[in-house]
Chain A
């Protein structure tokens, strides 16, 4: 199915730049409602086209399935300016998302939204879902992670392998000297500059409450983590272990995408991400919509 793309400026201050991708529906389907609209936005400072243009690939893929999307820059990111009277950052970004949803709702006559949030975008997506009931599904990529016993041991083992015996000995010596007050603590380049991860993770109990609230409202949640974050998420079982016994756990889906790095740099990682999204959409999201919601 072909599609049409249009770049627009939206928002009260006309400060948000957004690109709408609309599938060109065949005449036989003209006038039918769309099942939902997809929202795609920034990951950190990466513009609205997404990490390695993933949002563009996703928008085109959704269009083939007859699903429209909007990819947009949040205030102060990519091409979007800050509004004339800005709110605190996260509140502003939630407002931005809602302004885009208002526009898309009018454009497509559809009030159901799915958001794909990469990294900091996942932070925005789950908070948006708590404030706006139009969000009915969210894919959260490399969002908050919390250490477990196994993840900590795995990371320590990785560091031992990286440092070697001599490196470990030096490290232990340094720690001992620091403890004895004979040396100042040092910060290694690695720990000073870890790969980008979502900022300010909330307390785990707080996040669990939020996720439960979303699930109770019927929001379909899919979590996925890349291989490339060994210091904070490093094995398949960690997700279940992090949220052990949480009631929402049996209602959400999860995939550890071992073939992917955080930014989906390699083409096989992009292909795997696209396939995972497609599977979640078709198996968990679309069947969950009310029958009269479906196109």
Chain B
């Protein structure tokens, strides 16, 4: 069995909890993966997938670190006090913890949703950048993402309470969701709301990662990939790989909460990561 080692990372005032998974037998490859989760309901729904990914990657002889950002999941802190800059620093701390604990020759990073955006930002700052960055359905438009969350919140409550939204409001069973505020059970604070409203375009960051010598794989729907590819200078295309997804996973609903949520594309994720 793989060896599980909990890690506390970051300064005492901003700790985050990580879980490092080592292969049962030490490997000569000394390779490691860092996995960054998405946010809110997407993090809850993808939790099983992250465990499955870790298990499979450990079987290749690698060490794998997955973690909860400060103020999320099992980590200390409050959701409402967070910012993208702080979470991006949590990624850096996780990388530092991984390098310290596993001493790998190189690391590959995988991030999903907002976790992909955070990884991209962190990868531009860490002293030892990853060899490869795999970004799964990164968020391209912050304001549109916030709007989608508000819509998903209403839809979720209508599904959960089995009544039309207007009826629920009239009975005082729900309140109109707002940002900043609690949306889909996740507290989006003022700073995070501001950060998402002004989220830099993915196409601003991807060339910088390529210039740092990282290979970047972006997995998203074909239309998103076509748009990004069109907006990027051809000089960086050599470092970028586009993986079109047949099915975008709808993470903003608890509909399948009682069952394991592992997207059908997981074999593609593994294929990309272990290539």
User: Are A and B interaction partners?
Assistant: yes
Whether A45 lies near B257 (C-beta < 8 A) is yes
Describe B's contact surface by its main secondary structure.
mixed
Q: Which residue of B lies closest to A14 (CB)?
A: B4
| Contact for A231 among B5, B162, B254, B260, CB less than 8 A | B162
Q: Give the residue name and chain of the B residue nearest to A196 (CB).
A: B258
Cβ B185 vs Cβ A52 within 8 A: yes
Task: State whether B48 touches A45 (Cβ < 8 A).
Answer: yes
Count the A-B residue pairs with Cβ separation under 8 angstroms: how many? 120
Q: Which of B87-95, B152-160, B210-218, B233-241 contacts A (4 or more CB under 8 A)?
A: B152-160
Question: Pick the contact of A46 from B3, B44, B51, B157 — CB < 8 Å?
Answer: B44
Whether A261 pairs with B161 at a CB distance below 8 angstroms is yes
Distance (Å) between the CB of A120 and the closest chain B CB?
A: 7
Q: Which segment, of A4-12, A30-38, A214-222, faces chain B?
A: A4-12
B 146-182 contacts with A by CB, 8 A: 153, 156-157, 159-163, 173-175, 182
Task: Name which of B73-81, B107-115, B117-125 contacts chain A.
Answer: B73-81
A104 within 8 Å of B (CB atoms): no
Is B258's CB under 8 angstroms from A44's CB? yes
Contact B73 A230 (CB under 8 A): no
Residues of A within 8 A of B3 (CB): 14
- Of B1, B68, B182, which one neighbours A13 at CB under 8 angstroms? B1
**A78 at interface, CB cutoff 8 A:** yes
Interface residues on B, range: 35 or more
Question: Given the complex, which residues of A lie within 8 Å of B68, measured CB to CB?
Answer: 49
Contact B19 A79 (CB under 8 A): yes
Residues of chain A contacted by B47 (CB below 8 angstroms): 45-47, 78-79
Shortest beta-carbon distance, B14 to chain A, in Å?
A: 14
Listed residue (B153, B175, B257, B260) with the most chain A CB atoms within 10 angstroms of its CB? B257
Q: Are A262 and B76 in contact, with the CB atoms below 8 A? A: no
A84 touches B160 (CB 8 A): no
Residues on B lying within 8 angstroms of A by beta carbon are 1-6, 8, 17, 19, 44-45, 47-48, 51, 55, 66, 68, 72-74, 76, 79, 153, 156-157, 159-163, 173-175, 182, 184-187, 254-255, 257-261
9 residue pairs A–B, Cβ–Cβ below 8 Å: A14-B1, A44-B258, A46-B44, A79-B4, A81-B55, A258-B173, A261-B160, A264-B185, A266-B174
